[in-house]
Structure 1
């Protein structure tokens, strides 16, 4: 087994203070590896980085069309949002359009990470709801598919028609049988795959023909939705939102918990997947920036890049004390 390689480092006082190791793969439009670092066959949980795969059955089944879902709603279905008003309100309206309510969600209550929304709740002596959960858009998508399929209310169960459809799509697009699953933070099954399988799936999205068969059309539309509404995919100040804006809507990217990151590059017809083994978000953000810069789709000097790669670290007095940069030999 190939060991993980150094991808991101923190330097302080001219000395290496911390180092993050990981695996990364770039696949082309044939699903083959263009370049890899670490172990391309490392098995990982993609976590929320695979939400666009989980949304494929929503479109392929005809459920999205039957419900008249907008591009914005599809972006929210792929989101790990921060529970801001824009996310809360859209999820609430979506549920109402389905004749459902917050109680029908199975993602769990989560305090919003959006400061304005959290402060609003505190001032109103209110409590967070499931629509504040970062995965509520994905779950609205699940409920839309569930209504179309006529399944029972426990749509996150592994043997439920919704999750069986998700698993089938996931395995077909990654090109691998999943070796197992874990339960995600939002209670839905999260199917494991290799870093290569995840990159291959992103390459499929990158080459998807909007005039092709049902799966191609679904993948192309989800990619288009993500790039058109980056503020829905994450939120203000977040890496996914800021970096997609920095790339002018030409690339779709998505983070996942425990330092997974993916990218869909339609013009390059390539897909990228990476995993930082220690689960460090700062390293995953630095590493994806390094790969996007390497692929020529992200400017090294853009403020959104410099916030995460070659990122000067300052202390509470504003004094420059260190820098986060990519490791030598990576990207």
Structure 2
């Protein structure tokens, strides 16, 4: 099966561009709806951080370290690197006796405008705590400490990553199709779009035991702190706020998005083939409207999907549209 046309850009009465991809909506019993190829193999990238955080919680490491819901939200985050994020990650590390140098995620300039400006104006360099994955890595360090394992926690054969792989394969119901190195240097395991949606459905309707309790706590943390999961002006934060606690959404690099809908027991996974953020954000917004979680006229839907595109002078130049048949 080939990729389906999901989102189109129209300008001057002509379709100028198309975003193709694969989408699966799943429940505990399997596929509910799909577009494109459910069996397409992808890297979930940062969309699967809640899976990567499962061993942190279900092992007892989070409780041993006294982590609260803000810590768990940050463990699942791709944050902007604003003060609201960096101060919490720094305090987390300090409380456990770690330093910034213990992280293995690397440093990059933060997306947060104020922190970006502060670093530029003070001629300062960003540190690893500014990395959008520093919360995930703080979680890895916490688990490493609990396991009494070595410092190179991003290595594929490290006990931390072996635990992550087990959680990934158990929740997706698949043997990992391979792995690659993510932007933050951690392994990222490959699965099908269907497998990723199946994993999210598991978070939407957790079972009993340590796994179910961990899934429930991570979802509740993300719902309680959407500002920590991404940040101001970001689609994940804005979409979750607009849904008022009804669903979790989480993006990943190269145009991956997932959703967790507890009230319906549904998991969503989508991958836009061209890797473009615009297409992925428009597609997840369309799906949230399709599932009745957001209204067509909601400002956040207009921002990411239905509102007009404007040029630098503010003139309307085009619009994004759902492709015919997406969603039905």
Is the structural similarity TM-score above 0.5? yes
Query: In the aligned structure 1, how far is the partner of 2:321 from the partner of 2:149?
Result: 48
Matched with 1:118 is 116
Aligned length: 327
- Whether the 8 Å contact between 1:311 and 1:325 is mirrored in structure 2 is no
Partner residue, 1:62: 60
Counterpart of 1:291 (choices 275, 287, 290) is 287
Aligned partner of 2:273 in structure 1 is 277
Q: 1:246 aligns with which of 242, 266, 277?
A: 242
- Cα distance in 2 between the residues matched to 1:114 and 1:54: 24
TM-score (norm 2): 0.99
CA distance in 2, matches of 1:28, 1:95: 37
Query: For each residue in 1:255-295, what CA deviation from the matched residue of structure 2 results, as whole angstroms up to 9, or x when unmatched?
Result: 00000000000001000000000001000011111111111
User: Does the alignment pair 1:327 with 2:326?
Assistant: no
Match of 1:157 in 2: 155
In the TM superposition, what whole-angstrom CA distance separates every residue of 1:289-330 from its partner, at most 9, and x where no partner exists?
111111111122111111011131011111111111211111
Secondary structure class of the residue paired with 2:241: helix
CA-CA distance at 1:178 after TM superposition: 0.4
Alignment correspondent of 1:174? 172
- 1:28 is aligned to 27
Query: Which residue of 1 is the match for residue 192 of structure 2?
Result: 194
Match of 1:16 in 2: 15
The answer to whether the 8 A contact 1:79-1:233 is kept is yes
What is the rounded CA distance, in whole Å, between the counterparts of 2:295 and 2:79 in structure 1?
A: 25
Moved over 6 A (4+): none
Per-residue deviation, 1:29: 2.4
Question: Does the aligned pair in 2 maintain the 1:29–1:206 contact within 8 Å?
Answer: no
The equivalences for 1:67-146 within 5 A come to 67-146=65-144
SS in 2 for 1:250: coil
2-structure distance, mates of 1:295, 1:135: 30
Per-residue CA shift, 1:28-47, capped at 9, x if unaligned? Answer: 123x0011100000000000
- Whether 2:300 is the aligned partner of 1:304: answer yes
- 1:27–1:35 CA contact under 8 A, matched in 2: yes
Whole-Å Cα distance in 2 between the matches of residues 318 and 104 of structure 1?
Answer: 47
Give the secondary structure class of the aligned counterpart of 1:309. helix
Q: What displacement does 1:179 show? A: 1.2
SS at match of 2:312: coil
Q: Aligned partners of 1:317, 1:237: CA distance in 2, in Å?
A: 21
Displacement of 1:83 after TM fit? 0.5
Q: Is 1:234 paired with 2:233?
A: no
Gaps of 5+ in 2: none
